[in-house]
Amino acid sequence: MQQLLLGLLLFFLFAGLPPAAAGGLPGFERIEAVRADPTAPDTPPAEGWATVTLPDAWAERWPAHDGMVWYRLRWNEPAAAGEPSPRGLAMDYLSMAGAIYVNGTLLAQDTQLEEPLSRSWNYPRHWLLSAPLLRSGPNELLVRVSGLAAYAPGLGQVTVDQPAAAEAHYRHEQLIRQSLHMLSLGITLAMGVLYGLFWLLRRNETFYGWFSLFSLLWVPVGYNYVARDTWPFGSTHAYQAVNMSALVLSIAAFLMFALRFCDLQRRRAVRLIGGAIGLTTTALWLAPHALLSPVRDAAVVMALATYALSVWIICRHALASGKREVQALALCTLLPLAAGTHDVLVFHNVLATNLYYTPWSSSAMLVGISFVLTWRFVVGMRLVEHFNAELRHHVEDATRRLSSVLHREHATELENTRLAERMNLVRDLHDGLGMTLSGHIASLENRSAAGHDTALWALKEVRDDLRLIIESSSLGDADRLSERLAPLRHRSTRVLEAAGIECTWALRGLDQCRLDDRRGLDFLRLLQEALANVLKHSRASKVRVGIDAADGQLSLSVADDGSGFAGGGDAHGGMGLRNMEARARRLNGTLDIRSTPDGTTVALRFPIQLPAGVAIAG
C-alpha cells in the first residue's frame, strides 16, 4: 500500500511539472508584463514592462497588487507572397478576468473586469487567427488581466501554432479543466443525495449521513472550478470564503465518516479537530485583507492533514480487520491523497501550474466509496433477508407446533368433558336406578311366592347390566381389555362359586389388547350372558372361561360340564341367545354354541386391531 501511495504521489507531482522550455513558448520572441496605470487602465503603459515566463502569477512580483496587469506577447509570422497562413491561438487560463487583443483588435472580453470579477482562472480558450487580423511579420497579443493578489492572479500558458495543434491543445485543456470537473460535480451531487436518502432510511448507520454531508459540502468546492462568476455573492472575497469554508467542513465530515465507518469513538480528538476547524472557518470570514493569503494557506494545509488522518484511520482499520470492504475503501482514498498533495504544492506555487487534480480524483474516490458502501448495504440486506427467511421458518414451525398442541389440548378437553358427562351419568344411574333396582330385588327376595322368581331374575339381570354399564363407563378407550374384564371376572366368579360352580379363567395376550367403549361393552355383555346361562340352566359344577388375543383375532370360550341349555321353550333363554348373536354380529365375529350331554361350549371369535409395533403370538 505504501508503494502504491508513493507511485500515485510521484505521478501527480510530475504531471504538474512545466514544459522543459524556460522562456517564452516557441514562436514568441518576448513575453512581458506591466501593472496598469490606475488613471488609464484601458491603455497599456508605454514604460515599465518586465520580462516574464508563462504561466505567471504576479503576486510573487507585486505581492500587494490588486487590480489590472497587462501582458504583451510578440511573435513573427514568416513573410509570404500572399496572406499569412492561419494560426491557432490557445490560452489555458487567465486569473481572474480579462480582455484579449490581437494587433490592437479586441478578440474576447469577460463580463466583469471589476468587482465582482468574472472567474476565468480555470477556463481555457481557443481562436483561429487569419488575415487581416494576422499579419506577416511582427504580431502582438495583449492580455489585460484583472485580479486580486490573494487569489493567484496571472496568465497561463499561451500557444500560437498550427490550427490543428492549437485546437488539440485546447481540447486537452478543456477536458482537464472543465469537462472532467463538470462530470465530477454531477457525480458528487448524485452521491450526496443518494446516500442522504440511505441515511434517512437507516438512521442507525451514521456513516451514510456523514458521507452524504461530505459529498454535498464538496459540491461548492467542485463548482469553483467551473464557475464563471461569483453569483450569488457580491464579491470575490465572499465567494472564496464560502468555497474555502466548504472545503474545510467537507474534509471534517469525511473524517467523521472514516471514524464511524471503522466503528471508532475518538471524542476528545474529534472535539480538538472540530475546534480547530471552527477557528479556521471563522478566520476565513473575519481575517483582514492583509492576512487572507496566510489564512487560506493554513486552511488548505489543515484540510490536507485532516484528510491524511482520515486515510490513515481507514488504512489502519483495513489492515487490522482484514475486511475486504474496508481494504477497498482504503485503496479508494489513496488517489485523492496523492492528488491533494500535488494541489497543495500548486496552491503554494511550488509547482509552476494551476492544474488541480483533486476534484476529479475525488470523483473517482466517490465512485469507489459508493461501490463499497453499496456492497456493504447489499450484504446487510442479504443478512436481513436471510434472517427474515429463517425467522419465517421458525414462526411457521412454531405455528405448526402450537396448532398441534392446541388441537391436542382441544381433543383432551373434549375427552375430559365427555368423561365428566359419562361419570355424571354413571353416578346418576348408580344413585337412582341402581338403588331402586336393589330395593325391589331385596323386597322380592323376602317373599316366598314362586311367581316372583321370574321377575326377581329379570331385575337381577337388569342390575347386572347396569353394573356392567357403570363399570365400562368408568374406563376409556385407551384402557386394556384386561382392566375392563376385571370387575366382571371378580363378580361372576363370586356368584358362580356361591352357587357351587367352580370357575377358572385362562387369559392370554390381553396386556396390549384394547377395545373401544361400544365393542368392549358388547363383548362383556356377551360374556356376562354366557355365564348367566351357565348359572341358570346348566346345573354344572365347573365352568372354564378362556380369552385369547392372537394374530389380530380375539377368541372367547365358555365351557361347562352341565346338562346344556334348558328346553327351547324357555322364553328368557331364547331372548338371551338372540342377544348374544346380535352382539356377535356387531363385533363382526362368529358365535358358535355347542351343547352335549357332557356340557355346553359357547365360542366367539372376532377381529381386533392391535397397537402399531405389537405382535402377540398365538
Domain locations in the chain?
A: 19-54+56-156, 177-372, 480-618
Q: Using a pLDDT cut of 90, give the percent of the chain over it.
A: 33
Q: Tell me, what's the pLDDT at 240?
A: 92
Q: Using a pLDDT cut of 70, give the percent of the chain over it.
A: 82
Q: Poorest-confidence range of 166-170, 436-440, 546-550? A: 436-440
Confidence of residue 521 (pLDDT cuts 50, 70, 90): confident
C-alpha cell at 215: 459529498
Q: Tell me, what's the pLDDT at 418?
A: 73
Q: Tell me, what's the pLDDT at 567?
A: 42
Tell me the backbone φ, ψ of residue 169, rounded to 5 degrees.
-60, -45
Confidence of residue 412 (pLDDT cuts 50, 70, 90): confident
For the segment 173-198, the average pLDDT, to the nearest whole number, is 90
Q: Poorest-confidence range of 20-34, 355-369, 379-393, 503-517? A: 20-34
Most confident of 50-54, 364-368, 418-422: 50-54
Helix (H, G, I), strand (E, B) or coil at 306: helix
Q: Which CATH class is domain 480-618?
A: alpha beta
What string of DSSP letters covers 428-480? HIIIIIIHHHHHHHHHHHT---TTHHHHHHHHHHHHHHHHHHHHHHTS-TTSB
Q: Tell me, what's the pLDDT at 154?
A: 94
pLDDT digits (tens, 9 = 90+) for 228-281: 999 999 999 999 999 999 999 999 999 999 888 888 877 787 888 888 888 888
Q: Tell me, what's the pLDDT at 456?
A: 62
- Report the C-alpha gap between 548 and 526 in whole angstroms: 16
- Report the C-alpha gap between 68 and 35 in whole angstroms: 6
Neighbouring C-alpha atoms within 13 Å toward the C-beta of 566: 16
Of 221 and 271, the one with more pLDDT: 221
Structural contact between residues 520 and 583, judged by C-beta atoms closer than 8 angstroms: no
Confidence of residue 207 (pLDDT cuts 50, 70, 90): confident
Q: Tell me, what's the pLDDT at 97?
A: 96
Confidence of residue 25 (pLDDT cuts 50, 70, 90): very low
Average pLDDT value for the chain: 82
For the segment 215-231, the average pLDDT, to the nearest whole number, is 93
- Report the C-alpha gap between 358 and 337 in whole angstroms: 8
Residue 4 has pLDDT above 90, yes or no: no
Residue 133 has pLDDT above 60, yes or no: yes
Cα–chain center distance at 522 = 66
Q: Tell me, what's the pLDDT at 60?
A: 86
> CA–CA distance from 519 to each of 339, 341, 522, 589, 605 (Å)?
97, 99, 5, 11, 13
Q: Tell me, what's the pLDDT at 327?
A: 82
Q: Tell me, what's the pLDDT at 165?
A: 94
Residue 574 has pLDDT above 70, yes or no: no
Q: Cα angle at 496 between 491 and 498, to 5 degrees?
A: 95
C-alpha cell at 74: 510578440
Confidence of residue 172 (pLDDT cuts 50, 70, 90): very high
Q: Tell me, what's the pLDDT at 3?
A: 46
Q: Tell me, what's the pLDDT at 342?
A: 82
Q: Tell me, what's the pLDDT at 202?
A: 83
Q: Tell me, what's the pLDDT at 459?
A: 65
Question: Which CATH architecture fits 19-54+56-156?
Answer: Sandwich (2.60)
Q: Is 49 exposed, middle or buried (0-12, 13-18, 19+ CB in 10 A)?
A: middle
Confidence of residue 143 (pLDDT cuts 50, 70, 90): very high
Of 435 and 350, the one with more pLDDT: 350
Please determine whether the domains at 19-54+56-156 and 480-618 fall in the same fold group of CATH: no
Q: Tell me, what's the pLDDT at 23?
A: 34
Instruction: Using the CB atoms, write b or e for 315-347: b if 16+ within 10 Å.
Output: bebbeeeeeebbbbbbbbbbbbbbbbbbbbebb
For the segment 142-154, the average pLDDT, to the nearest whole number, is 93
- Report the C-alpha gap between 138 and 134 in whole angstroms: 9
Confidence of residue 100 (pLDDT cuts 50, 70, 90): very high
pLDDT digits (tens, 9 = 90+) for 293-310: 888 888 888 888 898 998
Most confident of 66-80, 439-453, 504-518: 66-80
Is beta strand 502-508 parallel, antiparallel or unpaired with respect to 542-550?
A: parallel
Q: Poorest-confidence range of 98-112, 270-284, 447-461? A: 447-461
pLDDT digits (tens, 9 = 90+) for 455-491: 666 666 666 666 666 666 655 554 678 888 888 888 8
pLDDT digits (tens, 9 = 90+) for 575-597: 678 888 988 999 999 999 998 88
